Structure 1
Amino acid sequence: MTTPPAGYRFVDAKDRQEEFFDVDRMAFGMTSEPEVDAVVPVTLDWDRTLAVEDARGRFAGVHASFPFTMPVPGAAVRTSGLTWVGVRPDHRRRGLLQAMISAHFERSLSRGEPVSALFAAEAGIYGRFGYGSAADDVRLTLDRGAALRDVAGSSDLTLRLDPLDPAVHGDVVDAVHREAGRGRPGWITRDTEVLRARHLVDPPAWRRGGEPLRIVTVSAPAADAAGATGTRTPAGEGEVRGYALFRRTERWEHGRAGSTVTIRELAAVDAAAAHRLWSFLLDLDLTVTVETAMLAVDDALTHLLVDPRSTTTRLQDNVWVRLLDLPAALSARRYAAPLDLVLDVTDDRLPANAGTWRLRTTTSDAGAHVAEVERTSAPADVSVGVRELGAAYLGGRSLAAMQPAGLAVEHTPGALVAATAAFRWPLAPVCSWGW
């Protein structure tokens, strides 16, 4: 069992919650806002929190995790979502983060979670612990009136705009979000009431001068109500096919309107719903720009834009993945092509993952290939670090592209091309919300 550095000890945090939060406020430079704290629910599972206490009995570092089920290519895997990691500024550089990450690995493995995932506050930190950047997202800034390609059926959908009411819209948002991400690796759903509630809160302090959150939904005609999500709008129209949560921030300059539309989340179950939502958001009166939420790099909007050069695009790392139990993790996902590969894996922090492994696909399941992973003494076809395997795990990174950077070494000609073809997936991975 991991032990923290001398003079520190691990302690349960559940009975000292305010101390837990205070460490993160110090680590991230945040302040407590009573009007926000009063309405924003705490999402932590306190049985999955852990603190490091110093010799004086004060918390010096904290971390927690969520019990997620993360979609992976062709399947899903139990995943420990690392969160709320912080060390007091006056206790940095003493090995506390290393001890907490090691404890997180051990606790996750003891719960049968072969994968860990996170959103990195600082991208330079977690690679040294074996997390690989497994997905990107794009955030677009568009001018009002940006032209879209036509999509059949878009104009037939019913559109409704309302103030967001979590009691009314919560089930709709959850159902459509689940369906919209079906089959997309990384698309973690909000599986507890508190996570769903947290996503829809809107305290005034978060609005930065904007209006309260609004929701626009698009629905099929009532006669076509039987469909994918089984949800209806509050007014009883047909099945809801998509929604967007957004706000406008009013601005005027020299007598001319210059308001911005800021989208918190948009989810659509088909092309017609996506087109109808974007058409509405890109043509709101008195607005000049639209700022999207984080989107998959292959999101429908990127294909619908007539002139993609007219947008300002920001690419950013999305979810990071760490393989904790390598054979369990690699055998949990499916592969896009047959593969018989011997991997020589390095993992300095979890030695049980290190060494040579044979990954061999056996049967085909709906066009995807099931793999067995076992120890072998056979010579390696490819040498790679566990960080790079984590980056490739969701199907969004090319192992072959890592070779010119020296991050993957090919011993058998053609092995990296074959591995890349098998690991890649038709849909780009993304998680649409951060935890």
Structure 2
Amino acid sequence: MSTLPTGYRTVVVPPERIEELRTVDQLAFAVAPDPEADQLLPFPVPHDRLMAVESPDGTYAAVHGSYDLVMPVPGGQVACAGLTWVGVRPDERRRGLLRAMITTHLERSLERGEPVSALFAAEAPIYGRFGYGSAADQVRLTVPRGAALRPVAGSERLTVRLERVDPGRHAELVEDLYVRAGAGRPGWVPRATPALRAYTVGDPPGRRAGCEPLLLATVLDGQDVRGVALFARKASWGEDGADAVVKVREASALDPASTHRLWSFLLDLDLTTTVETPPLAVDDPLLHLLVDPRPTRRRLTDNLWVRLLDVPTALAARRYAGPADVVLEVTDVLLPANAGRWRLVVDADGAADLSRTDVDADVALDVRELGALYLGGRSAAAMGSAGLARGDRAALDRLTTAFASSLAPVCPFMF
């Protein structure tokens, strides 16, 4: 599927060459080395999932890795290879190294029994040509201090405790609330390893960008923890006085009352004028709670990109919103085993059965569009209107309805 230039080869990165991998990634992303942070935080990617393209002189020309993730999907979950740390040295570009790495990643993921891959795209135009579809959006808000929220019963009896983050004490607490708060939301991937959880609460001084040390706000109902937020303030003083920004790294809450109490606290801190949220789902409760959303600035961007590696296994891993019987004609240049016609039959309980068929297709689409549909946040009918899926409107509507999720997909942490 892809051929490296003469003298180049794909290799597994051994632990003793991690620093070389870091160097390639720093060159690719224009990131300065941060030895202090590297000492304080464990390397997050499992060593046996780190790969490199070695040049003829033995140095690394390109690198990539992947996480062993379990991705929530509508009504279930699926093993997912989280592609990450993808970088090509600037002086090694335009030689097919990225295509070779993606090919290696797809092959190794399938060998491990991972029917789905996902990533965050540093550059949006790149990954579509490898079959990844934009499957979720995120919104970041900049909210004025004191923005009023609609009342929620029970919020007033909850209390908030504020303390400096202690990674040893707080990593598991933050992860527990994160997982519970995201239950049932597609894409809300747990951080399954100690290294990823350490990154979540990690606070190396060199990465604070002028902010204070990281803080933890905990919402309590008696002694029961109902919500947490990681945040830091960046102090600033203008002609009219204090002008600090509250930068929220993560916010998780288990119910409407704790959500209201948590954001009420974050939106009313002394000496601040604005609050910047972490990535939120496009249907996040905060968007509904704001009394006047107009002064709030919103930035909508893509979130997860999804690639189906094993179409029948991936589609059978999720549940569907209603019965359906539709024939899909799938194209997949990189993984021909996915290509062809598949009959998707969904029963009354939302469970699917996939089988090969020779009958005429109801909808024809590329695996890229199928990946975009997978988490329930996209519309097959809209894809049809854009010419990205072909079929009559009734068939596209049936497919849209079947794939729909009641909650918008999102992954709040970037891997």
TM-score, with normalisation over the residues of structure 1? 0.93
What does residue range 67-86 of structure 1 map to in structure 2 within 5 Å? 67-86=68-87
Moved more, 72-81 or 11-20: 11-20
Q: How far apart are residue 429 of structure 1 and its match?
A: 0.2
CA distance in 1, matches of 2:80, 2:298: 30
Moved more, 1-10 or 402-411: 1-10
Q: How far apart are residue 363 of structure 1 and its match?
A: 4.8
Structure 1 counterpart of 2:154, which letter? G
Q: How far apart are residue 92 of structure 1 and its match?
A: 0.6
3-state SS, counterpart of residue 186 of structure 1 = coil
What does residue range 20-419 of structure 1 map to in structure 2 within 5 Å? 20-221=21-222, 238-254=223-239, 256-364=241-349, 369-411=350-392, 413-419=393-399
CA distance in 2, matches of 1:403, 1:3: 35
Structure 2 equivalent of residue 9 of structure 1? 9
Q: How far apart are residue 327 of structure 1 and its match?
A: 0.5
Q: How far apart are residue 3 of structure 1 and its match?
A: 4.9
Q: How far apart are residue 2 of structure 1 and its match?
A: 5.9
Listed as ranges, the gaps of 5+ residues in structure 1 are 222-237
Moved more, 159-168 or 67-76: 159-168
Residues 114-151 of structure 1: per-residue CA shift (max 9 Å, x gap): 00000111111000000001000000001111010000
2:405 aligned with 1:420, yes or no?
no
The answer as to whether partners of 2:138 and 2:302 remain within 8 angstroms in 1 is yes
CA distance in 1, matches of 2:131, 2:11: 25
CA distance in 1, matches of 2:117, 2:198: 24
Structure 1 counterpart of 2:385, which letter? P
Residues 159-201 of structure 1: per-residue CA shift (max 9 Å, x gap): 1111111122222111111100000000001111111011111
Structure 2 counterpart of 1:415, which letter? A
3-state SS, counterpart of residue 417 of structure 1 = helix
CA distance in 2, matches of 1:338, 1:294: 33
Residues 359-396 of structure 1: per-residue CA shift (max 9 Å, x gap): 001351xxxx0000111001000011110110010000
Q: How far apart are residue 40 of structure 1 and its match?
A: 2.0
Structure 2 equivalent of residue 232 of structure 1? none
CA distance in 1, matches of 2:11, 2:164: 44
Q: How far apart are residue 253 of structure 1 and its match?
A: 1.1
The answer as to whether partners of 1:5 and 1:99 remain within 8 angstroms in 2 is no
Structure 2 counterpart of 1:300, which letter? P
The answer as to whether partners of 1:77 and 1:329 remain within 8 angstroms in 2 is yes
Moved more, 162-171 or 425-434: 162-171
Residues 185-234 of structure 1: per-residue CA shift (max 9 Å, x gap): 0000111111101111101111111111101011112xxxxxxxxxxxxx
CA distance in 1, matches of 2:240, 2:315: 59
3-state SS, counterpart of residue 356 of structure 1 = strand
The answer as to whether partners of 2:364 and 2:389 remain within 8 angstroms in 1 is yes
CA, structure 1 residues 255+313, in 2 after alignment: closer, same or farther (shift >3 Å)? closer
The answer as to whether partners of 1:159 and 1:219 remain within 8 angstroms in 2 is yes
The answer as to whether partners of 2:2 and 2:99 remain within 8 angstroms in 1 is no
CA distance in 2, matches of 1:169, 1:69: 23
The answer as to whether partners of 2:365 and 2:389 remain within 8 angstroms in 1 is yes
Among 403, 411, 414, the alignment partner of 1:431 is 411
CA distance in 2, matches of 1:5, 1:126: 21
Structure 2 counterpart of 1:344, which letter? E
CA, structure 1 residues 128+2, in 2 after alignment: closer, same or farther (shift >3 Å)? closer
Q: How far apart are residue 255 of structure 1 and its match?
A: 5.2
The answer as to whether partners of 1:382 and 1:408 remain within 8 angstroms in 2 is yes
CA distance in 1, matches of 2:163, 2:273: 21
Structure 2 counterpart of 1:310, which letter? P
Structure 1 counterpart of 2:69, which letter? F
Q: What's the % identity of the aligned pairs?
A: 58
CA distance in 1, matches of 2:66, 2:210: 33
Structure 2 counterpart of 1:142, which letter? V
The answer as to whether partners of 1:3 and 1:9 remain within 8 angstroms in 2 is no
Moved more, 11-20 or 270-279: 11-20
CA distance in 2, matches of 1:21, 1:404: 43
CA distance in 2, matches of 1:207, 1:293: 15
Aligned residue-pair number: 414
CA distance in 1, matches of 2:113, 2:202: 32
The answer as to whether partners of 2:81 and 2:109 remain within 8 angstroms in 1 is yes
Q: How far apart are residue 72 of structure 1 and its match?
A: 0.4
The answer as to whether partners of 1:2 and 1:103 remain within 8 angstroms in 2 is no
The answer as to whether partners of 1:249 and 1:259 remain within 8 angstroms in 2 is yes
Structure 2 counterpart of 1:392, which letter? L
Structure 2 counterpart of 1:430, which letter? V
RMSD: 1.1
3-state SS, counterpart of residue 399 of structure 2 = helix
CA distance in 1, matches of 2:54, 2:263: 50
TM-score, with normalisation over the residues of structure 2? 0.98
CA distance in 2, matches of 1:102, 1:363: 38
